[in-house]
Structure 1
Amino acid sequence: MTQNWSGVLIRHLLLVVAAGALLGLITGQYGWAIAVALAAYLGWSTWQLLRLHKWLKNHQPDEAPPDGYGLWGEVFDSIYHLQRRNQRARGRLQAVIDRMQESTAALRDGMILLDRDGNLEWWNQSAERLLGLKSPQDGGQPVTNLVRHPRFKEYFEGEDYREPLELPSPISDNLRLQFHITLYGAGEHLMLVRDVTRVHQLEQMRKDFVANVSHELRTPLTVIAGYLETLLDNVEDVNPRWTRALQQMQQQAGRMQNLLNDLLLLAKLEATDYPADNKPVAVDLMLLSIRNDAQALSGARSHRISLEADSKVKLKGSEAELRSAFSNLVFNAVKYTPDEGEIRIRWWADEQGAHLAVQDSGIGIDPKHLPRLTERFYRVDSSRNASTGGTGLGLAIVKHVLLRHRGTLDISSVPGKGSSFTCHFPPQQVESRA
């Protein structure tokens, strides 16, 4: 109540008391006269209050309030104007909501709103088409009951939505969908579903092309390498002028065979999501074998290679794939570390999972190259790669092996001081050995 209304009420009460006093002066009963005046004023106020209640309860839209006088008239008018403002505000908000619903309905991507527990609150028509949702019976259902793929359940409950998830549609295996979840508000979820079938088909065509070409090239390359080896084994029967040429041909044939082997391995890794031979692997023994191979690769370069491995920590996965990834990291450290440099290999576990770190004192990598190191055939320095005989696929293989084991790769480097490659594996991939 404003200051003016308070003054009006006080004046009204003073007038009622004055009228009661005047009536008491006439009748000689001051107490009863004032009491009757106050009771009359209270009755009149109660009647106005009942009129207000009846209007609020039964009024139609845009219906004017009942006529009032004085203070009650101002109350009626104020409530009426407040209602009109609220109606206009609701109209504007409803118009915005209608436009939003129309625009989201026109999207080709599915849009789904989920509460903090993952239950469906709202979705557009594209979500119905892509996921087979049915309105209104699916409202309030947990999204994991409608998208029943194990990887989606793991993705949703993990709450790590930095990267999207790609899965087949629940209604058709021929339809490929990409799920991207964003958190907002008090833990609510906004899920975008995009049809990436065409992109997936193009990617599959690329993979099939690379795999088929690699297989087709393998046989003629094996024949060429075999004849070159035969000629070099009988080098005394060959014109001396051809010896160096044959040696270079054999070297390049070997590089091409290594390249084809890496391409075929990548094609195999991309064929499935998880390794078939998923079993606990004794990583400490594997790293010991890799360290010995790295020491032999170092040879006269005399690298100092140290190993710290927790023998109690085992990793679930494919031993062959993990050996390929870990050896790639260690052998790269040997290749790019100057003579008598230091290489440190560590394997440990904590509450975040298991970790493998390969740290060297090599030439280092410029920070601008770090985000692209795991791309296929990406070359930081072409001359450096040529001198070491690399195929440019080593770190791509590492990345795919880690993805198949739910792992991630962190790379840090300082030019001139060395590099550190760290593999992180989640707790569900770790098994402790007594």
Structure 2
Amino acid sequence: MRADSLAAIPYDGLPLWAGLALVGGVVVGWGAAILAFRRRAIPQPVIPEYPALGLSLPLPDAPLPIELFPGSVLLLDRLGAVLQANEEALTQFGDSVGAILRHPAARSALSAALRAEPEGADGLPPVCSTTFTLDVPVPRTLHLSLRGLPGAQDRHKRVLVVMSDRSEAQVLDRMRMDFVAHASHELRTPLASLSGFIDALRAGGTSMDEGTRQQFLDIMGQQSSRLKRLIDRLLYLSRVQAHEHQRPRDVVDVADLMAIVLGEVAPRFDEDGCTLNLAIEDDLTIRADEDEMVQVLLNLIENALKYGRERDQPFAVTLFARRAPARDDRWPEDGGVLLGVEDNGRGMEAHHLPRLTERFYRVVDKVEPSQQGTGLGLSIVRHILDRHGGRLRVASAPGRGTTCLVWLPPVSVVQSETV
């Protein structure tokens, strides 16, 4: 049969477009069948839901919105590597995060969090907590709370960590215990002395000679004065702390303040070889409680006279007031006023300086036991300056004297903070 005769035979099958549609449908059907089979063969990750908490955890590889959490928060994998860290954690701990997580206590808590199984009505794993002290780069007491995120396979396990620095709280607890111990000791010493001499006077009766009796009474008077002075200092310190959060509102002229201080201390400098110098700039004002600032300067001058003066050596104390430099990294604000007491006395070693404002801390190697103070003067100074928004810096070296520098903020700054 010829080709032209074949072309003349009519074709009764489907059109071309219908055939193409049929083939496309077959391909789509096979693709859907294969996808369904794969979904049945490969388990899909479960997204845990906690209606009671309003919480829905994301898929295992999805990031958590930890920036919304208050505090320092990390997200770790099962090996303890950091997957996420919020801004607070990076700011507060920085490069120390790695050292913190490598601590044995942190590793043990991580293992416990990974092993913990969900429990309770909400289906959440329990929180695993630990507290430990990290000695480097500086001693810090840290508390970690860890909770594993459920719903993922073991190799995708993640742990949420909340970190807090409890160093300050631990220091405050130690200071509180030290205060109770020191206060008890300081009160017990004069009381024991009084009790002993009272017993001696009773036992001696009329047979005790008048000289001995008078000596006992003098010592008892000294001890009772010491006890009264200690109690007065403790009560004053308590009053200062009671309103430490309230900034003073009165504007005080520094020249008037210095005149009051000078009237109080001038009689102490009448002895030969002991002089008081003044260096006060004009037109200085501070926002302060005048009585408290007088107490600050009196305490500093009293310390200079008691602890700085060498016997049979010329001794000079300078009381000064001046404007602070416009820019000085030692102070939290630019400007302000500097008040200070400087002496040319014996000075002290550097290891004493950080502890001078601690309650009952005394440089015992500088004075005789009978001349030692209560150890509360500079603690009172620190609390007064905290109330005023001020700062205290002490510089000293053996044989070179001591300088106590008080910085007070500009009047305008304090005023804006109190409004």
Q: Normalising by structure 2, what TM-score?
A: 0.48
Query: Which structure features the higher share of helix residues?
Result: 1
